[in-house]
Amino acid sequence: MKKHLFLIILFLGMVVSACGTTDRQNLKRTELKQAAVTKTFSSSETAEISNYLAFAEEFSNASPEAQKQTLIATNQQLTLNANSLLHRFKLAMIYALPSSTLLDVQKAQPMLLSILRENHLTGAQTAYAHMLFDYVIALNKANKSDHEDEKHIESILQKNENLQSKLDSLQQKLASTQQKLDAAQQQIDELKNIEKSMGQREPIQKK
């Protein structure tokens, strides 16, 4: 359900932020938005994006082993033609889709950035690449935040462990001190008993 929702949101986002003429040499988000001209996708562009979404749907439903095989086949196609935009998009999706067992935002981000630097992208391709890129950036930030939270939790746990260790050591010292106090009290009690015993003896009568 989540992967279908992601694809729907992705497609709707492209329609909303679709751009026609864009200064693709400048990748700053603010300047791209200022240069963008909203328009309706042509039938060929719509069919092109439908192919991307179909690949994403098929890949998302594939088994982990099938996804690995798709990665191998895609890399083989790029070995034959490194400039194939279709397979570059596919490779980026393999590493960017949330349902991918090969999810790796560190690999997807530079791939999408490289695609966005192309001068011959259609408006649909630009919008699609931007949506994937925005998703990857957001996911990367979330991962960093999670990592920082994990480090913070580990730090707290380590401090708690150190405090527990100190507490255990203090308890051992207290237990040792209590043993010494008990031993001293026992000696005092024994001395008192001896003194009491001597006091209770009858005095020796002189003949």
DSSP per-residue codes, 22-72:
--TT---HHHHHHH----PPPHHHHHHHHHHHHHHHHHHHS-HHHHHHHHH
For residues 71-91, average pLDDT: 94
Q: Is the pLDDT of residue 51 over 80?
A: yes
pLDDT per position as a tens digit, 107-126:
999 999 999 999 888 888 88
What pLDDT is recorded for position 32? 41
pLDDT per position as a tens digit, 53-71:
889 899 999 999 999 999 9
Q: What are phi and psi of 38, to 5 degrees?
A: -70, 135
Rounded Cα–Cα distance for residues 127 and 118 (Å): 13
Q: Is the pLDDT of residue 92 over 80?
A: yes
Q: Which helix (H) or strand (E) holds 120?
A: none
Rounded Cα–Cα distance for residues 89 and 84 (Å): 9
Cα separation values, 128 from 19, 95, 110, 158, 186, Å = 10, 15, 15, 45, 85
Nearest one of 22, 30, 32 to 121, comparing CA atoms: 22
For residues 138-156, average pLDDT: 67
Q: Residue holding tokens 């040499």?
A: 25
pTM assigned to the model = 0.53
Rounded Cα–Cα distance for residues 128 and 118 (Å): 13
Residues with Cβ within 8 Å of residue 7, at least 6 apart in sequence:
53, 56, 57, 60
Rounded Cα–Cα distance for residues 86 and 74 (Å): 10
